[in-house]
Amino acid sequence: MQRQILSRHTFRTILLLSCLIIATSIANAAVTVGKPAADFTAVDSNGKQHILSQYKGKTVVLEWTNHDCPYVRKHYGSNNMQSLQKEATDAGIVWLSIISSATGKQGHVSASQANELTQSRNAYPTAVILDEKGDIGRLYAAKTTPHMYIIDKTGKLVYMGGIDSIPSSNPADIPAASPYIKTALKSLAEGKPITDNVTRPYGCSVKY
């Protein structure tokens, strides 16, 4: 009987470890630069459905955001994020701002609140995706706000990481920072390789 109990315990342990390994492998595969970006279906703050794969043929930027995060306020308060959004969307790039804050957590907003934020900050995303269950955030292993991803016209992930190189919440640091997203989008538009295609994301933790 003791051997049977031990055997069952060992089997369950092995099964659990196997599931964890598979889950980790799937998550890592979803966020590997140079590989196809993981597809998802989501609804925006206006009730419109977005399927990532439908944007093949266009460059897509994913921006994880939380309006209460001081690092996010750094880039919106200085108009840095809005300038990047406008420049991108004017060039035909799809820019999806994603809110993965869970209900009751910092940064969680309703659809109407998300629209109010977009309007009050003069932001220019293509859409604001509401991901309160965190499905998309976990799929992409989004760690911070902001955490940025770029997907090229073929549907391949070509950049992941920070918006720039100085991990502070001080807007005065923006001019001195290497503008990773701006540079990556410029390189992509010119058909050049993105030099720094994986960088360190910084900001507040995503509030799953």
DSSP string, 139-155: HTT--EESEEEEE-TTS
Assigned CATH class of 33-205: alpha beta
Q: What percent of the chain lies above the pLDDT cut of 90?
A: 85
Pair 92, 125: CB distance under 8 Å: no
Contact call for residues 107 and 205 (beta carbons, < 8 A) = no
Mean per-residue pLDDT, 4-12 = 48
Of residues 66, 153, 139, the one with CA closest to residue 101: 66
Helix (H/G/I), strand (E/B), else coil: 181: helix
Q: What is the pLDDT of residue 16?
A: 37
Q: What is the mean pLDDT of residues 74-83?
A: 98
Least confident of 11-20, 81-90, 94-103, 124-133: 11-20
Closest CA to 130 of 89, 106, 102: 102
pLDDT at 31: 85
Predicted TM-score (pTM) of this structure: 0.86
